[in-house]
A and B are shown apart, each in its own frame.
Chain A
């Protein structure tokens, strides 16, 4: 019955060797550093264009942002099989233009560019032209309203920027007047018209909010207001000068962001990923764009998939933690890998909200389950009832916390509900059979493991390593395999057999 150990040892050796070799290759060839640090923040932005072809030739023209204040473009890349691509000048502005002889059915085009975030970088832009707007011509109640808004804003302002801020404030305060205005033109159009009226150069621009892991996001309309060579971006609804996340101007020449000729239902959406890159390495970047067999990095995938993988590649870390804690320490958890799922939802909900939410949901769920057990239901029906109660509970908690002004509470919906329901069911049986102490031990154990997993997954170094060195997954695999053959004692067994050792 004795199995030879040699194949196993060879397998482990191969895994570790291959894993380290791949990582080394990436380190050397692509200059990816082992540790994050002294790094340049780089935003990868991917525009995805969708439209439905009409069996005619099609031309797609997309605005592409140049290097601008705060952001330096370091590379660009397109994927569009079957299409001819050209960068053309239109009105002195560079745009990407795809063309195809026959566009039939659903078409998808990608444009990807990378921008290094540089605080000190200042790029001058030609100020917007001042033209008299048609909106303010003639007369009527809306013109009067617009002029009053402008007058009261002017009184409270000192320069172009404060004027803009005050004007937006006025727009936010005079709800009825603005309602009247918005029947004639959009809020942004009025703002620009009014600013131009008093000689403030301004225009509408389309911006993209940069937030790591964003998928399918849309362009937002902002206001670009000039003062000489300087300019400031305003959110036309809040009047904030500095939005929470940085924004990249995507289109700023008063042209359409996307133009599709010979297609309908066109859609433009964006994915954003934040990356760290060694400072001296931005030039080499271009090379990475060409796919390479040995380049086992997910950086060759479309950005939206990369964003997904950034999370997925962390799961093995969680699995490893569970293995370690169960095999070496002997912690009991409710459901083997449930803690990993909980940890993943903690990433979305943030730790404190997640912990509070988990305890609330499981606690209340146990009470409800206690009542259900008196009804003498069949198992499937009972668990279904628990699932529905958990969902109602989550909805209630979300609404309640929102009413109380705790927008954090909304994130509670990220919890894996079916898993939670099973946990509740299992815990309540455990409660009946073994008593509350065992339930506390298992729930506590699960939360403990989840928090440790969460802490590791959120760690900057761990994220850097798993995302950049796919080879390390093989090493994790090897560790898990080795753990699987560990036959020593668990830490908790040392405690359990203590009575015997004492003698």
Chain B
């Protein structure tokens, strides 16, 4: 509360405003007006706002993504849930139109009709069915619209990363502008974020060097931290494996959906390598805090190029390595 007081002082406001400009920080208004409205055609939004569409598209183009075990689109099928999941080790149920981690249930083990969540709690089948029925009623989707529940295979984080996350699979967010990856961060769940990997819920954001996939800086609730608050692991040593494969996957995501200003959520799976989780047409701004760098200078460099969308993936990645590494 008191931290907000300097905002009443016009001089301090002006100084901060100038500092932010010189750092090249992208603000919400500018993002909406200059980037989303200009580079993301409205007609493309449904592809990314519905995870089912995204998944179908990704499977069609053979991008690595967790397999779709089944889709439940009516209350009756919710009672037949066990048919989809009976023989599976682990799985993940999510609302097709959910966002911000809402309504995602990750089951890591099944045993005698009981299901174990990532935090170790056990659920009865009835509880899982109720969750599905809530998804169908639209509890987790924007504006309460009715929704469908997707069941997909469980992703297992690569062992190089597993120790950084406390409950839940860490995911990597890459901002792809006109086909070129510009900034990346890793999101780690922790106790404070209730196993969710969303920054505004208290998860840890680790900025990644776009050239190497190595940690630059880590923040939690907009404050810098050194170690993981639950496990005490030094975050600066974090190195994402198979980084170049991941960049390639991010570039292909732009090609399949066509959105100019795109947020790609990826996971490094132990077996499959980089896998696509979901796409985002309105990626958040806190990636800048995690990277301790503004997006604007990078976006401007790309805006100066004519039709980078037509470049080959190799050329795009080369450009990113040459210009955005730290």
Query: Which residues of A does B touch, CB under 8 Å?
Result: 1, 327, 330, 376-379, 382-383, 425, 429, 433-434, 484-501, 503
Q: Quick check: is B102 within 8 A (CB to CB) of the other chain? A: yes
Q: Quick check: is B266 within 8 A (CB to CB) of the other chain? A: no
Residues of B contacting A487 in the complex (Cβ-Cβ under 8 angstroms):
27, 29-30, 33-34
Question: Bound complex: CA of A327 vs CA of B32, how far in Å?
Answer: 11
Residues of B contacting A500 in the complex (Cβ-Cβ under 8 angstroms):
23, 25, 288-289, 292
| Of A429, A488, A495, the contact of B4 (CB 8 Å cutoff) | A495
Question: Bound complex: CA of A486 vs CA of B27, how far in Å?
Answer: 11
Residues of A contacting B33 in the complex (Cβ-Cβ under 8 angstroms):
484-487
* Residue interface mask B192-206, A partner, CB < 8 A = 1: 000000001100000
Question: Bound complex: CA of A498 vs CA of B139, how far in Å?
Answer: 35
Question: Bound complex: CA of A487 vs CA of B30, how far in Å?
Answer: 4
* Residue interface mask B14-38, A partner, CB < 8 A = 1: 0011011001010111100110001
B28 touching A379, Cβ below 8 Å: no
Question: Bound complex: CA of A486 vs CA of B201, how far in Å?
Answer: 29
Question: Bound complex: CA of A487 vs CA of B138, how far in Å?
Answer: 34
B29 touching A376, Cβ below 8 Å: no
| Of A383, A425, A488, A503, the contact of B30 (CB 8 Å cutoff) | A488
Sample of 5 more A-B contacts, CB < 8 Å, known A434-B201, A503-B292: A1-B38, A486-B33, A494-B16, A499-B289, A501-B23
Residues of B contacting A1 in the complex (Cβ-Cβ under 8 angstroms):
38-39
Residues of A contacting B144 in the complex (Cβ-Cβ under 8 angstroms):
379, 383, 425, 429
B146 touching A379, Cβ below 8 Å: yes
A490 touching B27, Cβ below 8 Å: yes
Question: Bound complex: CA of A63 vs CA of B38, how far in Å?
Answer: 66
Residues of B contacting A496 in the complex (Cβ-Cβ under 8 angstroms):
222, 289
Residues of A contacting B201 in the complex (Cβ-Cβ under 8 angstroms):
434
Instruction: Report B104 CB to chain A, min CB distance, Å.
Output: 11
Given A487-B29, A490-B27, are A497 and B7 neighbors across the interface (CB < 8 Å)?
no
Residues of A contacting B102 in the complex (Cβ-Cβ under 8 angstroms):
433
A489 touching B7, Cβ below 8 Å: no
Instruction: Report B32 CB to chain A, min CB distance, Å.
Output: 8
B223 touching A489, Cβ below 8 Å: no
Q: Which residue of B lies closest to A486 (CB)?
A: B29
Q: Quick check: is B13 within 8 A (CB to CB) of the other chain? A: yes
Main SS of the interface on chain A? helix
Q: Which residue of A lies closest to B27 (CB)?
A: A489
Residues of A contacting B224 in the complex (Cβ-Cβ under 8 angstroms):
499
| Of B28, B34, B39, B200, the contact of A490 (CB 8 Å cutoff) | B28
Q: Quick check: is B110 within 8 A (CB to CB) of the other chain? A: no
Instruction: Report A489 CB to chain B, min CB distance, Å.
Output: 4
Q: Quick check: is B58 within 8 A (CB to CB) of the other chain? A: no
| Of B4, B28, B38, B146, the contact of A493 (CB 8 Å cutoff) | B28
Instruction: Report B191 CB to chain A, min CB distance, Å.
Output: 14
Question: Bound complex: CA of A433 vs CA of B30, how far in Å?
Answer: 28
Residues of A contacting B30 in the complex (Cβ-Cβ under 8 angstroms):
487-488
Question: Bound complex: CA of A492 vs CA of B138, how far in Å?
Answer: 31
Instruction: Report B8 CB to chain A, min CB distance, Å.
Output: 10
Instruction: Report B298 CB to chain A, min CB distance, Å.
Output: 15
B20 touching A501, Cβ below 8 Å: yes
| Of B4, B19, B137, B292, the contact of A379 (CB 8 Å cutoff) | B137
Question: Bound complex: CA of A85 vs CA of B33, how far in Å?
Answer: 60
B17 touching A489, Cβ below 8 Å: yes
A-B contact pairs, 12 of them (CB 8 A): A376-B133, A377-B137, A379-B138, A379-B139, A379-B144, A485-B33, A488-B17, A492-B7, A493-B285, A498-B16, A500-B25, A501-B16
Q: 3 nearest interchain CB pairs?
A: A487-B30, A489-B27, A494-B16
Question: Bound complex: CA of A492 vs CA of B289, how far in Å?
Answer: 15
Instruction: Report A495 CB to chain B, min CB distance, Å.
Output: 6
Given A376-B130, A487-B34, A499-B289, are A494 and B20 neighbors across the interface (CB < 8 Å)?
yes
Question: Bound complex: CA of A495 vs CA of B140, how far in Å?
Answer: 29
B7 touching A495, Cβ below 8 Å: yes
Instruction: Report A93 CB to chain B, min CB distance, Å.
Output: 63
Q: Which residue of A lies closest to B19 (CB)?
A: A501
Q: Which residue of A lies closest to B8 (CB)?
A: A491
Instruction: Report A500 CB to chain B, min CB distance, Å.
Output: 6
Q: Which residue of B lies closest to A501 (CB)?
A: B19
Residues of B contacting A493 in the complex (Cβ-Cβ under 8 angstroms):
20, 25, 27-28, 285
B29 touching A488, Cβ below 8 Å: yes
Residues of B contacting A484 in the complex (Cβ-Cβ under 8 angstroms):
33
Question: Bound complex: CA of A491 vs CA of B289, how far in Å?
Answer: 17
Residues of B contacting A379 in the complex (Cβ-Cβ under 8 angstroms):
137-139, 144, 146
Instruction: Report A190 CB to chain B, min CB distance, Å.
Output: 62
Q: Quick check: is B304 within 8 A (CB to CB) of the other chain? A: no
Q: In chain B between 71 and 102, which residues have their CB closer than 8 angstroms to a CB of chain A?
A: 75, 100, 102
A491 touching B7, Cβ below 8 Å: yes
Given A1-B38, A494-B7, are A499 and B23 neighbors across the interface (CB < 8 Å)?
no
